[in-house]
Amino acid sequence: MQKARLSRVIVLAAVGAVALGACSARNESDSGGDTPPQSQAAAPAQASNAANPAGDGKAQCAPTSIAYAGTINGNNAALGQNILYGVDLAVTQHNKANPGCQVKLEKFETEGTPDKAPGIVTQIANTNSIIGVVGLPFSGESKAAGNIFNDKGLVQLTPSATNPTLSQNGWKTFFRGLGNDNTQGPAAAQFITQELKADKVCVVRDDSEYGTGLADAITKALGEKATCQQTVKTKQIDFAAVVNDIKSKSPQAIFYSGYYQEAAPLAQQLSDAGVDAKFVGPDGVKDDEFVKGAGDAAAKAYFTCPCVPADQFTDFSTAYKAASGKDPGTYSPEGYDLATILLKGIDAGKKDRASLLDFVKTYDGQGLTKHFKWDDKGELAKTTVWTYKVEGGKIVRNTEIK
C-alpha cells in the first residue's frame, strides 16, 4: 500500500520531468545593448619582445613540476578558471616546443576560502617536486597561507590578489603580477567622480580581505563624495534591507567592493527596486558570470580592473580559445605571463626552489600584459588600471585610467 503510493509519487515526478524536458528553448538571453557608444581607448598591442613560453625549443631539464593553486570549482570559480587556463596554455606551449624539458602542471583546489587554503598550501609545500606556484588568486586565502610558502622558500606568483597589505608581511616568496588596491581604489574613485560624474557614491563591501581592503582604499580616495557605506556577507543572496538603505540614500553611483557571486544578485535587486545609480564593480566582479547572473541589470554596469585588455593579443587569444573553448577572461593573460616567467627559469637551468626564487627576484623582462620587475616587497614598479563596460551582453574595454 505504502510502496504503491511512494512509487506513484516517483513516477509522477519522472513523467513531469520528461514532459518538461521535451519543450524547446526560447528566449535566448540577450541582455542590454542600450549603452550609448562612448570613447573607447585602444587596447595595447602585443609587445614584440614579450616573453614566449616556447623559448628556443632547445631547453634541457629533468622532469619537474609547477603548480596552480586557487579556486577551480569553489567560490567564484570562473575567476580561478580564467587564470588556470592561462597557466595551462603556457605550460602546454612550453612542453610542445621543448621535448627535452617537460614541466608538469599540478592543479590544487583551494575553493577560494581562507579556511581551506592553508591545508592545501601545506600539501603543495611538502611536495618537493613542485618548485614554483602560480596562485592564490584571492586576497583572503593569500593572507592565510602566504607564510607557508615563505617558510618553505617556495616562490608564489599571484595573478590577481590585490590587497595592499599582502606585500607587507615580510614574505620573501610573494610576488604580485599586477597593481594592488592602493592603485585600484584611487583609480576607481577617479573614474566614478570624473568619468561617470557622480558626487554621491555608495561604497558596498563584502566581508572578505579583498572587499574590505579595497573599500577602505576607495572610500579614502572619494573623501566627502563617499556618502554612504553598506556591508554584505559572503554567499548572501537576499539583499532587501541593504537595497532599502541604499535606495533611501539615493546615490548617483554604487561601488561594490567584492566578488561577482554576491554582486550579481545585488545589482539585480537594486535595479528591481528602481535604484538607477551606476553600478561599478572591481576586478572580482568583472566576469561573464556577473553579466549572466545580474540579467538586465548588467547592461548598466562598469568595472575597474588592474588587468590589461587582451583584445590585441591575438596569438594568445587564438591559442587560448583553441585550448579552452572560451575567450580569455580577466587575468588569463596575467596567469600566462607569470607561468611563462617560471618556465623561463626552469629553461635557464633552475631546478630547485631556491634558485627559481632567485631567478624571479632578479627577473627583468617584458610580458604580454606589462613589464615585470619586482621590488624587494614583491610589487611591480609600473602598473595600470583599466575600466570596462557591458555591451551587447559582453564585457568590453572602456578606458585606461591615468
Partner 1 sequence: MLIHHELTTHVLADIKFDPGAFVDQFWQNTVDGLSQGSIYALVALGYTLVYGVLKLINFAHSEVFIYGAYATWFTFYGLGFRPGSTPDLPVFELIGFLLLALVVSMLVSGGTAVVLERVAYRPLRKRGAPRLAFLITAIGASFVLQQILFLTRGGNAERSIRLMKPEAQFTIFGAEITNVTLIIIIASVVLMVFADVFVNRTKFGRGIRAVAQDPDTATLMGVNKERIIILTFLIGGLLAGAAAFFYMIKNPQGASYQGGFILGIKAFTAAVLGGIGNLRGALLGGILLGLVENYGQAFFGGNWRDVVAFVLLVLILMFRPTGILGESLGKARV
CB atoms within 10 A of CB 61: 17
Write out the DSSP string of 80-101: HHHHHHHHHHHHHHHHHH-TT-
CB of 247 to partner 1, least distance (A): 8
* CA atoms within 13 Å, Cβ hemisphere of 250: 0
C-alpha cell at 208: 572578505
Least Cβ distance, residue 185 to partner 1 (angstroms): 17
Strand-pair category, 301-305 with 385-391: antiparallel
Question: Cα(49)–Cα(57) distance, rounded to whole angstroms?
Answer: 17
Q: For residues 207 and 311, which CB has a smaller minimum distance to partner 1 in the complex? A: 207
The grid coordinates listed for 191 are 573614474
Considering only 28-36, 47-55, 126-134, 187-195, which stretch makes contact with partner 1 by CB under 8 A?
A: 28-36
Is residue 141 within the footprint of partner 1 (CB under 8 A)?
no
Answer for which of 91, 117, 214, 264 binds partner 1 (CB under 8 A) is 264
Indicate which single residue of 34, 45, 100, 241 sits in contact with partner 1 (rule: CB under 8 A). Answer: 241
The residue from 39, 48, 63, 248 that contacts partner 1 (CB under 8 A) is: 248
Q: Dihedral sign, CA of 360, 361, 367, 370?
A: positive
180-209 mask for partner 1 (x: CB under 8 A)?
---------------------------x--
**Candidate ranges 53-61, 123-131, 259-267, 279-287; the one touching partner 1 (CB under 8 A):** 259-267
- Applying the rule CB under 8 A, the residues between 36 and 65 that interact with partner 1 are none
Contact between 24 and partner 1 by CB under 8 A: the answer reads: yes
Phi–psi pair at 27, nearest 5 degrees:
55, 50
Question: Using the rule CB under 8 A, is 111 a contact of partner 1?
Answer: yes
Closest Cα partner for 94 from 146, 153, 51?
51
Number of residues interacting with partner 1: please give it, by CB under 8 A. Answer: 59
Nearest residue to 375 (alpha-carbon basis) of 393, 360, 386: 360
- φ, ψ for residue 229, nearest 5 deg: -130, 140
Can you give the binding site for partner 1, defined by CB under 8 A?
2, 6, 9-10, 12-13, 16-17, 20-21, 23-32, 73-75, 77-78, 111, 143-144, 207, 212, 229-233, 235-242, 244-245, 248, 261, 264-265, 268, 272-274, 289, 292-293, 295-296, 393
